[in-house]
Amino acid sequence: MSLFYNQLIKSMKYPTDSYAGKTIIITGSNTGLGKEAARHYVRLGVSRLILAVRNPEKGESAKAEVQGPDPKPAVQVWRLDMASYASVRDFAARVEAELDRVDVVLLNAGLARTWLVMAEGNEEMVTVNFVSTFLLAALLMPKLKETARRYDSTSPTLTIVTSATHGHTQLPQKSAPKGHLLQTINEGPSPTSNWAEHYAITKLLQVLTVRALSTLHKPPSSSTTTTTPVTINCVNPGLCHSELARDMGWRFWLFKALVARSTEQGSRTLVHAAAQGPDSHGCYLSECAVVEPSAFESYLKGSGPGGQKINKTSSAVQLIHIPTGIVVKSQATRSRSQNRNVARRLLAEKIDALRNGNQSRAALVGLREKKRADSAAKKSRRKYRKLDHDRAQSASRSSDGPGHPDTPKSTTSRHS
């Protein structure tokens, strides 16, 4: 009954804060929750709003709906394809070059598919919902920190839109070898057989990674000496009437028709989460309140089996040693300097392994040459033994016939 109450009866808090002078980025904002959140920010006086969309044409249509006839605020449509790492990097580079500040980033773009599509080496839902989401988060973090340093009146926030479905999976891949989680997910059953499980896994990874990032980037209220004045959190908007699951079957659509809340109501949770400040750092929000995520997420976050592997999934450091082309991947735990130290150690180990491998290959080549020489010698010996044997047989046959030089003359001929 609580599901029906929360979805159909309970009203989400109506946003009232002012965003005058602030710049906001919303991904996946040409439709659904992102577009409705954009409407709220325009109503609340945002100075600059970036609609980050995969299809600029649809983005322009959304801009016309959101902005209306008033040229202020400045609503801009920027292209961003979350299925492409190059597009994510290009978008982040444009943010760095063209925006003097970023106060709120709403990473709302998401994907749910019932068939298998690969993107950047991973199943597309994994790429869009998880890898690209946190790649973009990492690339935008410097601009958020810079905004906090330059403008005392703001507390920049990065909010990731997740889902309560993160509690609907037991993560069958939790025992994957360290560093092979995504590969194990890719090698498992495809979304065609169970799309809901795949989608839930990507959402669980989001919640876990937000927790991991919150330990790497401390909020201003932290007692530690090094703090980051940027809040990172995630929000569950609930089941809403949006286009996210437009490819699902009739059973899902029937359930959605019965219990889904309006897209506008769901968008309020996004705006609310992005306004909660340091008290919500690392938190999971739902129904416009900080709540505990699923019990399974808490289990993974702790010291239970798989916890350490999952918590470090998002903080991989990759270095390429130019002279050798060796790629080193290291799991980061706390700081950038520690990341470098771990990566350097692994790089040294890889180079040593390469050298040892070269020596081993040289020894192997020598061994193969020796084996070939021994084999040739054996063949030669067999050949000459056969020749000797043939000669002996020929001599034996000749000794039994007339005229052989070794045949003694008869007595008669000798006396005659």
Specify the pLDDT at position 398: 66
Specify the pLDDT at position 334: 38
Which residues lie across from 329 on neighbouring strands? 318
Active-site residue (options: 63, 143, 203, 309): 203
Specify the pLDDT at position 416: 36
Domain map (residue ranges) of the chain: 2-314, 315-392
Active-site residue (options: 199, 218, 284, 312): 199
Report residue 349: phi and psi, to 5°: -65, -40
Judge whether residue 392 has pLDDT over 90: no
Angle at 295 between CA 134 and CA 272, to 5 degrees: 55
Q: How far apart are CA 266 and CA 270, in angstroms?
A: 7
Specify the pLDDT at position 375: 78
306-322 core/surface letters (b: 16 or more CB in 10 A; e: else): ebebbbbbbbebebeee
* Longest Cα separation, the chain: 147
Residue-wise pLDDT tens digits, 222-242: 444 445 689 999 999 988 776
Report residue 334: phi and psi, to 5°: -130, -60
What's the CATH code, domain 2-314?
3.40.50.720
- Residue of higher predicted confidence among 331 and 288: 288
Q: How far apart are CA 330 and CA 342, in angstroms?
A: 7
Instruction: Decide if 371 is catalytic.
Output: no
Residue-wise pLDDT tens digits, 332-359: 333 455 555 555 665 666 666 666 665 6
User: Residues near 283 by Cβ (< 8 Å), separated by ≥ 6?
Assistant: 233, 234, 276, 290
Q: Give the ranges where 105-244 is alpha helix by DSSP (H).
A: 124-125, 132-150, 181-187, 191-216
Q: How far apart are CA 62 and CA 58, in angstroms?
A: 6
Burial classification of residue 41, based on how many CB atoms lie within 10 Å of its CB (0-12 exposed, 13-18 middle, 19 or more buried): buried
Q: How far apart are CA 61 and CA 77, in angstroms?
A: 10
Report how far Cα 375 is from the mean position of its chain's Cα atoms: 52
**Tokens in use for 40?**
């709220």
% of the chain residues with pLDDT over 70: 68
**Tokens in use for 59?**
């983005």
**Tokens in use for 285?**
């929000």
- Among 301, 298, 336, 304, CA closest to 317: 336
Number of Cβ within a 10 Å radius of residue 216:
17
pLDDT confidence bin for 85, thresholds 50/70/90: very high
% of the chain residues with pLDDT over 90: 42
Q: How far apart are CA 60 and CA 58, in angstroms?
A: 5
Judge whether residue 186 has pLDDT over 50: yes
Specify the pLDDT at position 115: 80
Report residue 9: phi and psi, to 5°: -110, -45
Instruction: Decide if 199 is catalytic.
Output: yes
